[in-house]
Amino acid sequence: MQVRLVAYRSISWLSRLRQFFRRRRLRLLLWSAGLLLLLSVAGDMLFPVPARIPYSQIVTADDGQVLSAYLSTDDKWRMRTELDDISPLLREAVIFKEDKYFYYHPGVNPVAILRALFNNLVQGRKTSGASTITMQVARLLEPKERTYASKLIEVLRALQLEWHYSKDEILRMYLNLLPYGGNVEGVKAAALLYCGRMPDHLSLAQIVALSVIPNRPTSLRIGRNNEAILAARNKWLRRMGAEGLFDAGQIEDALAEPIDMKRRSLARRAPHLALRLHHRFPDRAVIPTRLNLRIQNKVRTLSYNYVKRLKSWGIHNAAALVIDNATRGVVAYLGSADFSDKRHAGEVDGVKAVRSPGSTLKPLVYALAIDEGLVTPKSVLNDVPINIGGYAPVNFNRKYNGTVTAEQALARSLNVPAVSLLQKVGLPSFLDRLSDAGFRQIAADRDKLGLSAILGGCGVRLEELAGLYVALANGGRHLPLKYRRDDTVASAQALMTASAAYMITEILCQLERPDLPATYQSSVHVPRVAWKTGTSYGRRDAWSIGFNKRYTIAVWLGNFSGEGTPELTGADIATPLLFKLFNSLDYNSPNDWFAPPPGLDFRIVCTASGQVPSDFCDDQALDYFIPGVSSNRSCDHRRRVMVAHDETHSYCTHCRPDVGYKQKLYDNVSPELAAFYDAERIAYSRVPSHNSSCTRVFDAGRPRITSPVAGNEYLIERGDSTRIMLSCLASQDVTNVYWFVDDMLVGSAAAGERIFIHPHPGDLKISCSDDRGRNADISVKVTYY
């Protein structure tokens, strides 16, 4: 009994001892696991994966084709391969050759390591490797001398990579880092440089050929050792066929395919846009644009050939943009006709260059005038010499028409009506709209600009003008142009109403206009286009910008040097190229045109004034107008005047006799128009001079002094015989005017006649009185030096 008790106690003690060690071993294992995890986390933090790979930047078209590429910061051709670039063929071939169990191991394949160790020990030299794709990525990220210590680091790095990245991401890194000799790395760079195509367009033979080179990039040098590459490729193709990776037909076709790989030059298409985006986004590996290569190539070819024919006239440069109106995407970008023409600064980007716009801004001021109710297309405007604060604009041909309709003035690009209209609209409003439309140089120079801005006295860029006309094609709503596929959508700016945009569009598509090129009739087919031309001062810039429902095309021609040439005009030089581009890009257009917006209506107007007809208006026409906005003023192009039966003089209600007079209709012309008619000897019904015995003094209709300009200072060199001209505009009923300087009579003249004086220095008061007793005064300063 006692022996049993001792035995039981011994067994119980041993059981407790075993449980103690079992619990301690578990605790030790847990502590060891925790310590290992802690060391792993600490090691990961202290030695992070060097996964930042400097890539070559590529700029692509809308279909993914490469436009241009640039070396990486470490001077490598290493182009980022995306997951979408990895075709199933490429994935299967690479994994089969390099790491069959890639998707099953944690970055390290223990079986492969043991097999390689055994083979190497038996053979006494290295006969096989055990590196997985993940381990190769670790080695490519941190190249080191091949030692057992380096291999251990690769193992640790492989585990670290698997911790941080998915299998597809690791495969992508591997394909991005594969060495192909020289400074070429990665399968995308190799595919483009050696095969001339993207990785997802490679054949099976090309994929396998590219997969064997990285193991021996020096001995399998493309272009030098193609026979060795062919042998290595076919060896692996047969292995893949034997393993059933690909069917027999695919293997047979791949084996029959010759090796035609050689080093190719990378494409350099749309170089100005590519450089622009490269400088703006230097850290992006891929910049996808909206360029359509078919359209880009047509624009480049047509422009290049067109400029070649102009070189004999001293015109060497051109720039063009084509915009898809629906998306605002730039589908063609031509900075110059020949980027390689260093003699004529072909590397200059004409799309971004600041140039004088000529008359291309005029449609905006007419649209603003329409929206303010100042004009409609049939409104009659004066086209006569004017002087606004010393600024006297003239038309391009230095001729005047007397009166024109607003649509004629815009279609014929007349300068004087545009300046007069801008004065009524207000320069600040005009500049505000241009700033809203993204005209950066105009916004910067705002305080320096005057009324001459409407005629080209400002700086603009081709892309800014293109954006303005895209807004016309989109009902007056402006959005920034989109160069990249991932450009975000901004909020639209309303530059004008849809009604105003439609009226301007209808005016700009008229064919009866002087800026229609002589070659137009020889064009086989030109889609319906609304367009506007512009020619800068000195004939340094020729512009033509047109649009239809589908595209807006903006064209500039000239010299980047700023040199002008007599032949350089928007109508004769730029518009033929514009029509060529439309004819090429939109030849089969269905001619779908813009529909009138809901807020637009028709009305009958008098053709002599463009106003609502009065009872004396015989000639009438239909005109667009905006209800509630356009003026409802009745026509006043004629007025009834009380005159003597012999029509020698007129009466007012103050001096009208009881009998012996009659009422007669006379042309109601402004003083400026009357002066023009008199100077040009154009007949019009002039109101007879007022009754000389009338004692009433009229305040309305007083003379308007046009020279000198009120408030100006005149500098005259001492001893110079320079004189100052005195001139005014007077009412029709005035025969003579009288001029005073500091209230001293200096001369009299017929209405509209000019006189000249030698002024004394200092502040002068200039006065003009007509024969009806009406008076006007201005002040000027004269300084002798």
Q: Active-site residues: which are they?
A: 98, 359
Q: Distance between CA atoms of 634 and 630, rounded to whole angstroms?
A: 12
Q: What is the DSSP string of 41-77?
A: HHHHHHS-----PPPBEEEE-TTS-EEEEE--TTS-E
Q: Rounded CA gap, 639 and 24, in Å?
A: 119
Burial 507-517 (b: 16+ CB within 10 A, else e): bbbeeebebbb
Our CA angle for 425, 426, 431, nearest 5°, is: 110
Structure tokens at 77: 């051709």
Q: What is the DSSP letter of 744?
A: E
Phi, psi of 488 (to 5 degrees): -80, 160
Q: What are the tokens at 63?
A: 């279909």
What's the alpha-carbon Rg for the chain, to the nearest Å?
42
CB 177 within 8 A of CB 141: yes
Token couple for 652? 């007012």
The amino acid sitting at 328 is R
Residue 329: strand, helix, or coil: strand
Query: Residues 102, 86: contact at Cβ < 8 Å?
Result: no
What are the backbone angles phi and psi of residue 608, rounded to the nearest 5°? -80, -20
Handedness of CA 692, 697, 698, 703 (dihedral sign): positive
Closest CA to 763 of 779, 778, 776, 777: 779
In angstroms, the CA 105 to CA 162 distance is 9
DSSP state of 193: I
SS3 331: strand
Please tell me the distance from the alpha carbon of residue 377 to that of residue 624, in angstroms, as a whole number.
7
Alpha-carbon distance of 693 to 552, in angstroms, equals 66
Contact status, residue 515 vs residue 546, Cβ threshold 8 Å: no
Chain centre to alpha carbon of residue 686: 53
Angle at 487 between CA 484 and CA 489, to 5 degrees: 145
Alpha-carbon span 750 to 729, nearest angstrom: 11
Secondary-structure percent of the chain, ordered helix, strand, coil, rounded to 5? 40, 20, 45
3-state secondary structure of 2: helix
The secondary element (H helix, E strand) that includes residue 646 is none
Give, in order, the Cα–Cα distances in Å from 773 to each of 153, 702, 743, 764: 107, 9, 15, 22
Please answer whether residues 180 and 213 qualify as being in contact, where contact means their C-beta atoms are separated by less than 8 angstroms: yes
Length of the chain: 785
What tokens does 26 get? 């578990």
Task: Show the DSSP H helices in 554-605 as ranges.
Answer: 575-585
Beta bridge partners of 372: none
How many Cα atoms are found within 13 Å in the side-chain-facing hemisphere of 398? 0
Q: How far is CA 384 from CA 411, 422, 678, in A?
A: 17, 15, 12
CA–CA separation, 406 and 380 (whole Å)? 6
Longest CA–CA span in the chain (Å) reads 168
Separation of alpha carbons 550 and 592, rounded Å: 9
